[in-house]
A and B are shown apart, each in its own frame.
Chain A
Amino acid sequence: MTSPGSQQPVSEQQFLDEHSQLVFNVALRLTGNRSDAEDLAQDALIRALKALPKFRGDSKLSTWVYTITVNTWKNRVRAEKSRGFWKTISFGVLGDSGRPDEGSDYDPAGKDAPLDAELEKEGTAAVVQKALLQLDADDRAIVVLREIEERSYGEIGEVLGLAEGTVKSRLFRARAKLKTLLDKVSA
């Protein structure tokens, strides 16, 4: 297994150290709750670890990991849809605090964000997450990869198998829909 371009071998532990947080963040915003996010992240990481020996370095490793994560999530969405459960787009998945579902393993004193800053953003974050969950799968993935992961249109297109132009137009429509949803909440 090698890292793209440099062809340097990447150990499993190194891979996990570098990408576990990234995968979990994307999974959290795609699913909207911590338990589903952890399940999805673990599933995606396990798949990535299994496929890692076959990674040829044709793309950035991070792009490859995003691709696995998004595809794993989309497969789950399809499976849940077929069972009549699409809870990932339900409004009930977020707690009243606006924080993605505070499960028993949720650590309110997160290391990354000061408590005061979290409290200030709590209301807005809940509304934004709910609005995000109302986008369809590809649009949500585009928004997450662009706004949160700050990936380029080309990289997003590579992850989702879309042309750059398609990514641009769908991103605009997703933003417009989010704006409409947020305007309704704030009105």
Chain B
Amino acid sequence: MNDAIREKLSAYLDGALPDAERRAVEVEISRSEEMRLELEALRAVSGAVKGLPKEPLPAGFMARLEARRARDAKPERDYLILPPAYRPLAFALSTAVVALVVWDKTRAPEELIVPRVGWDSEKVAVKSAAEAPPSIDVSGQLSALDSRDKGLADLSSGSAESAAANELTASNAKKEDAVGAKAGAPSTFGKHISAPGKPLGVQEDEPVPAEGGFARRAAPSGPAAAAPAASSPAPVLAEGAGSGYLARSEEERSAINERLYQGFEEEKKRMGIAKIMDKDAEEDKLSGGGREFMALQATPEAAQVGRARGSASAVRGMAKAKGGAPVLKALTLKSAEALSAAWSAAGLPGEPPAVSFPDQMAVFLAGPSGCGITGVQVRKKFIVVLYKDAGFDDPSARVRALAASPKPVVVKPAE
């Protein structure tokens, strides 16, 4: 029996055959036992499916249907977070972020950029506090010159002379720190002094003390030098660096600033800095003539410090020129001790000329041998020292006595 006959039997079972075909099938069924059995089998299958039980609607079906209809009646939202209109933007942003991260991860590491602070900081090797050189030495003027023209080179080359001076500085600083500790001032040695280029830094994770702990790069030794620290502890320069600074009131911040200023002034005095001159002051009058401004002016205390700090090497170093050109510097010295120290530090023979301190002050020309002062002009805001760098056999030509004056000194070659 082929499938065509079986298909007719299936349709016959459903009463779906036309009358003629139905009668023909009935004749065949009456003649063929096989067809009859096949029909019965199909009828059994059909009956089995028809016999599947009818199930009533589940309890609560209509209520759930109504609830679902109410839920579906709300505006359809087929997105979870972003409306479709914003998806391209979100995709673009996320792609950009991924690209940025990938680029950042894959690019070659760049050399760390060292910020320029004050000196040529990138040339200065970071050293420990004990190794840190004095930023402003003995007589201020000498140290400033030494640092720019010679000191940095000494640091990088590690010359014995510079190392000796540094060692002396560290030793003095430790002594001063010990004095400060005895006087009740917190020790700051090795904590706040870091390296050139960051002279007054405070460790960020260190609690800021209420007072004291003023960062000292170099300090004189002896009771006279320790007295200011003991009697009036210097305020913390980085006092305002704490996170609570801005949260303080205006009066508190003013008080902090005042303490910082006072501490700075005391530090200047102790380090021998009498005045820091405005760089632009009367600059126009010196155009073509004034070669340098003295930013620092020595005080009598500076001479004492200078002797102890190996200022001789600094004075000797002054005569050395960067690239061979002679360097001259005029110092204002206000005591016989300071003059003697500068004289001997410059390696000059004999004794310096007499100067009637303290009514007078001595202007000392530090420079190569043979240099000398040809004249002095006292101007409104500073003193101009005219000089020649050769032709003077008498070393006393390096010294001029002037009436005591707080004005800064500028050197100018004589015409």
Binding site for B on A (CB under 8 A): 16, 20-21, 24-25, 28-29, 34, 37-38, 41-42, 45-46, 49, 99-100, 103, 105-107, 110-113, 118, 121, 124-125, 128-129, 132, 143-144, 146-148, 152-153, 168-169, 171-172, 175-176, 178-179, 182
A118-B53 in contact given A42-B65, A168-B7, A179-B42 (Cβ < 8 Å): yes
A118 surroundings in chain B (CB, below 8 A):
53
- Tell whether, in the assembled complex, residue B54 and residue A178 are in contact, meaning their CB atoms are under 8 Å apart: no
Chain B residues positioned under 8 Å from A124 (CB to CB): 48, 51
Given A20-B62, A45-B65, A179–B52 Cβ distance below 8 Å?
no
Q: Give Cα A23 to B50, complex, Å.
A: 16
| B6 x A178 contact (CB < 8 A) | no
Number of chain B residues whose Cβ lies closer than 8 Å to a Cβ of chain A: 32
Cβ–Cβ contact B64 & A121, under 8 A? no
For chain A, what secondary structure do more than half of its interface residues adopt (helix, strand, loop), or is it mixed? helix
Q: Are B53 and A121 in contact, with the CB atoms below 8 A? A: yes
Question: Is the C-beta of B109 less than 8 angstroms from some C-beta in chain A?
Answer: no
B241 at the interface (CB under 8 A from A): no
- A110 touching B56, Cβ below 8 Å: yes
Contact of B55 with A179 in the complex, beta carbons under 8 Å: no
Confirm or deny: B304 has a beta carbon within 8 angstroms of a beta carbon on chain A. no
Give the Cβ gap from B275 to chain A, nearest Cβ, in Å.
85
Question: B285: CB under 8 A from chain A?
Answer: no
Q: Are A147 and B49 interface neighbours, CB within 8 A?
A: yes
Shortest CB–CB separation between residue B29 and chain A, in angstroms? Answer: 16
With A and B bound together, what is the CA distance between A182 and B134 in angstroms? 104
Residues of A contacting B50 with CB < 8 Å? Answer: 147-148
Asked if B69 and A46 make an inter-chain contact with CB atoms under 8 angstroms apart, the answer reads yes
Can you list 23 pairs linking A and B with CB atoms under 8 Å apart? A16-B62, A20-B61, A28-B55, A37-B55, A42-B68, A106-B58, A118-B53, A121-B53, A124-B48, A128-B48, A128-B52, A129-B52, A144-B49, A146-B14, A148-B49, A153-B16, A168-B10, A168-B11, A168-B16, A171-B14, A172-B6, A175-B10, A179-B42
The 8 Å CB contact of B45, one of A112, A152, A182, is A182
As a 0/1 sequence over residues 15 to 49 of chain B, the CB contacts with chain A under 8 angstroms (1 = contact) are 01000000000000000000000000110111011
- In the complex, given contacts A99-B53, A113-B53, A129-B52, what are 14 additional A-B residue pairs having Cβ atoms less than 8 angstroms apart? A16-B62, A20-B65, A38-B64, A112-B56, A118-B53, A132-B52, A144-B49, A147-B46, A147-B50, A152-B16, A169-B7, A171-B14, A172-B11, A179-B42
Are B10 and A110 neighbours in the complex by a CB distance under 8 Å?
no
Chain A positions within 8 Å of B57 at CB level: 20-21, 24
- A-B pairs with CB below 8 Å: how many? 106
Q: Is B59 an interface residue (CB 8 A)?
A: yes
- Closest-by-CB residue of A relative to B9 is A172
A178 lies within 8 A of B49 (CB): yes
* Complex CA–CA separation, A24 to B62 (angstroms): 11
Q: Which 6 A-B pairs have the closest CB atoms?
A: A172-B10, A147-B49, A172-B7, A105-B58, A128-B48, A179-B45
Shortest distance between the CB of B333 and any CB in chain A (Å): 95
Which residue of B44, B60, B65 contacts A46 across the interface (Cβ within 8 Å)? B65
The smallest beta-carbon distance between A126 and chain B, in angstroms, is: 10
A129: min CB distance to chain B, Å: 6
Which residues of chain B come closer than 8 Å to A143, judged between CB atoms? 49
Contacts of A178 in B (CB 8 A): 45, 48-49
| B72 located at the interface, meaning its Cβ lies under 8 Å from any Cβ of chain A in the complex | yes
User: How far is A4 from B68 in the complex, measured between Cα atoms in Å?
Assistant: 27
Contact B16 A105 (CB under 8 A): no
- In angstroms, Cα B56 to Cα A24, docked, is 8
